[in-house]
C-alpha cells in the first residue's frame, strides 16, 4: 500500500515536472535588436512598436502553433558593437526571429549573429539590396521594398499616369538608398524614353547649405524637363526643395520613401506638385487599403498617435511574414521556415504584397502607395503596381 502511495506521489511529481516544463516551453521569443536612440532611433521606433502589436494580435488569436510569443527588445542605440551584443544576447535567450534595423549598416552586425546561429533575421524597412541578395547569408530577409525598385516604380508611374517625358535627376550622394533610388529611376526611365529621356543629371551633398550652383546649371542648360527626380532625405531634401521652389522652378518633384513625413511638409510651406511613395500612408493621410486603416486605428489606440511615416508598418510585416511561414511549415525550425518564406508569392500582408524567392530576399515588384502633396494637403493616389502599369487593389 505504502509503496503504491510513494509511487503515485512520484508519478504525480513527474507529471507536474513535465507539465511545468511544457509550460516553460510554451513561450517563444521574438527578439528585436533595434535602436530607440541615436540617428537610427526615428527609423526603428515605429517598426518596433508595430512588431509589438503584431505579437499582441497573434497572442490574442491563440498564439502560434499553440505557443505564446514574447517580444524581447534590446536597445542598440545606433551602435554597431552594441547591436552585435544585443543579437548574441537574444540568440542565447533562444529567440526564433530577430527584427533588425531599418538600415543595412546598422543592422548587419545583428544579421551576422543570426546567420551564424541559424536564426532568421528580418529587417523592417532596410531597402539596401545587400539585405536582399544574401550578402550575409540565407537567413537574412527584409520586409522593405528594394530601393532601386522604388525608383523604377516612380519612373513607370510618372510615365504612364502623368505622361511626363523628360526627366531631370538630382542625386544627394549622402546615403546608399538615394544612390539606388536614382539608379532604378534612371534605368526604367531610359527603358521607356530612350537615352534622351534624361535631360540633365546632377549631384549635391545632403549637408550643402546652398544648391544655387545646381539650380543655375539647370537653368543654363536650356533644356526643359517635365519632372525632377529628387533622390534625397531630410534635412537636405527639404532645403533643396525650398531653394528650387524659391528659384521659380515649379516642376513636379518626385521623391522616394525618404521624402515622407510631416516634418518635410512643414519645412517647405505651401508645398505643391510633389509626389513620393511609401509602403503605407503617413500619419494624417487616409490609406486606401481598409486593412491598413483599421490597423492604424488600433495603433493610435495603443500609442496615442499614428506612425509618423508609412514605413513604420513594416515591423508588423516582419512578424506577420515569419508567423505565416511558421504556420505553413508547422514548425519553428529555421530551415523549414526559410523554405516557406522563400515560397511567398504576393502574400497579402499588412504593409503590402510580399514575395521572396530562394535568390531574392527582398521585394522588387511590390505595389507601393503613391502620395501627392498639393498646397501642403497630402492625398493617397493609390497602390501602383509596376507589373500591371496601373493602380491595383488586392483586398
Partner 1 sequence: MNLRRPRLFPATGLIAVLAVLAVGSRLWGNTLVEGALTEALLYLVLVVGLSIFVGNSGVVSFGHIGFAAIGAYASAWQTCCTGFRGVFMPGLPTFLLELDMPVVTAALLAGLLAALVAAVVGIAIMRLGGIAISIALLSLLFIVKSVYENWDSVTAGQSSLVGLPLYVDLWVALAWAAGAIVVAQIYQRSAFGLKLRAVRDDEAAARACGVTPWIQRLIAFVLSAFVAGVGGALYGHYLGTLAVSIFWLDMTFVTIAMLVLGGMRSLTGAVVGTLAVTATREILRSLERGVDLGTLHWQAPQGSQEIVLALILLGILVFRPEGLVGDRELGVRKAV
Sign of CA dihedral 296, 297, 300, 301: negative
253 vs 274: CA distance, rounded Å:
5
Pick from 57, 89, 187, 202: which binds partner 1 (CB under 8 A)? Answer: 89
Q: 29, 56, 67, 80: which one contacts partner 1 (CB under 8 A)?
A: 80
From 88-96, 192-200, 251-259, 364-372, span contacting partner 1 (CB under 8 A): 88-96
**Binds partner 1 (CB under 8 A): choice among 51, 53, 95, 108:** 108
* Shorter beta-carbon distance to partner 1: residue 39 or 394: 39
Q: Is 283 in the site for partner 1 (CB under 8 A)?
A: no
Residues 176-235 that bind partner 1 (CB under 8 A): 176
Between the two ends of the chain, the Cα-to-Cα distance in Å is: 67
Residue 299: how many other CB atoms lie within 10 Å? 22
Of 30-49, binders to partner 1 (CB under 8 A) are 36-37
The contact pattern for partner 1, residues 122-141, with x = CB under 8 A and - = no contact, is: --------x----xx-----
Least distance from partner 1 to the Cβ atom of residue 118, Å:
14
DSSP line for 146-190: PHHHHHHHHHHHHHHHH----EEEEEETTSHHHHHHHHHHHHHHH
Shortest Å distance, C-beta 85 to partner 1 = 6
H helix runs in the chain, sequence order: 2-25, 41-60, 80-92, 104-116, 129-132, 147-162, 176-193, 212-221, 236-246, 262-267, 290-303, 314-329, 334-341
Size of the site for partner 1 (CB under 8 A): 24
Q: Does 99 bind partner 1 (CB under 8 A)?
A: no
What distance in Å separates the CA atoms of residue 293 and residue 310, rounded to the nearest whole number? Answer: 12
Residues near partner 1, by CB under 8 A: 36-37, 74-75, 79-81, 84-85, 88-89, 92, 104-105, 108-109, 112-113, 116, 130, 135-136, 175-176
Amino acid at each position: 500500500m505504502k509503496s503504491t502511495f510513494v509511487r503515485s506521489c512520484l508519478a504525480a511529481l513527474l507529471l507536474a515536472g513535465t507539465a511545468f516544463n511544457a509550460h516553460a516551453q510554451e513561450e517563444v521569443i521574438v527578439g528585436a535588436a533595434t535602436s530607440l536612440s541615436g540617428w537610427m532611433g526615428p527609423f526603428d521606433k515605429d517598426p518596433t512598436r508595430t512588431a509589438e502589436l503584431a505579437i499582441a494580435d497573434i497572442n490574442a488569436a491563440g498564439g502560434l502553433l499553440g505557443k505564446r510569443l514574447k517580444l524581447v527588445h534590446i536597445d542598440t542605440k545606433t551602435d554597431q558593437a552594441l547591436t552585435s551584443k544585443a543579437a548574441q544576447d537574444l540568440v542565447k535567450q533562444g529567440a526564433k526571429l530577430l527584427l533588425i534595423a531599418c538600415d543595412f549598416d546598422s543592422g548587419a552586425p545583428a544579421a551576422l549573429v543570426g546567420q551564424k546561429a541559424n536564426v532568421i533575421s528580418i529587417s523592417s524597412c532596410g531597402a539596401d539590396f545587400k539585405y536582399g541578395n544574401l550578402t550575409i547569408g540565407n537567413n537574412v530577409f527584409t520586409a522593405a521594398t528594394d530601393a532601386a525598385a522604388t525608383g523604377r516604380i516612380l519612373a513607370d508611374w510618372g510615365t504612364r499616369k502623368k505622361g511626363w517625358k523628360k526627366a531631370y535627376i538630382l542625386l544627394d550622394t549622402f546615403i546608399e538608398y538615394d544612390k539606388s533610388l536614382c539608379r532604378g529611376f534612371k534605368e526604367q526611365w531610359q527603358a521607356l524614353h530612350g537615352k534622351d529621356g534624361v535631360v540633365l543629371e546632377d549631384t549635391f551633398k545632403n549637408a550643402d547649405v546652398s544648391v544655387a550652383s545646381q539650380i543655375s546649371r539647370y537653368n543654363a542648360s536650356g533644356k526643359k524637363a517635365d519632372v525632377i527626380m529628387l533622390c534625397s532625405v531630410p534635412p537636405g531634401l527639404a532645403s533643396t526643395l525650398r531653394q528650387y521652389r524659391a528659384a521659380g522652378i515649379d516642376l513636379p518633384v518626385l521623391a522616394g520613401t525618404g521624402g515622407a513625413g510631416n516634418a518635410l511638409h512643414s519645412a517647405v510651406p505651401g508645398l505643391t506638385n510633389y509626389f513620393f511613395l511609401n509602403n503605407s500612408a503617413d500619419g494624417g493621410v487616409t490609406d486606401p487599403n481598409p486593412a491598413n486603416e483599421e490597423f492604424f486605428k488600433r495603433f493610435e489606440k495603443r500609442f496615442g498617435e499614428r506612425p509618423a511615416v508609412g514605413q513604420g508598418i513594416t515591423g508588423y510585416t516582419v512578424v506577420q511574414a515569419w508567423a505565416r511561414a511558421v504556420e505553413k511549415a508547422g514548425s519553428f525550425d529555421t530551415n523549414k521556415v526559410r523554405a516557406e518564406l522563400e515560397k511567398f508569392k504576393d502574400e497579402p500582408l499588412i504593409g503590402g504584397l510580399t514575395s521572396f524567392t530562394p535568390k531574392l530576399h527582398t521585394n522588387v515588384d511590390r505595389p507601393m502607395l503613391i502620395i501627392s502633396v498639393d498646397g501642403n494637403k497630402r492625398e493617397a493616389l493609390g497602390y501602383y503596381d509596376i507589373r500591371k502599369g496601373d493602380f491595383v487593389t488586392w483586398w
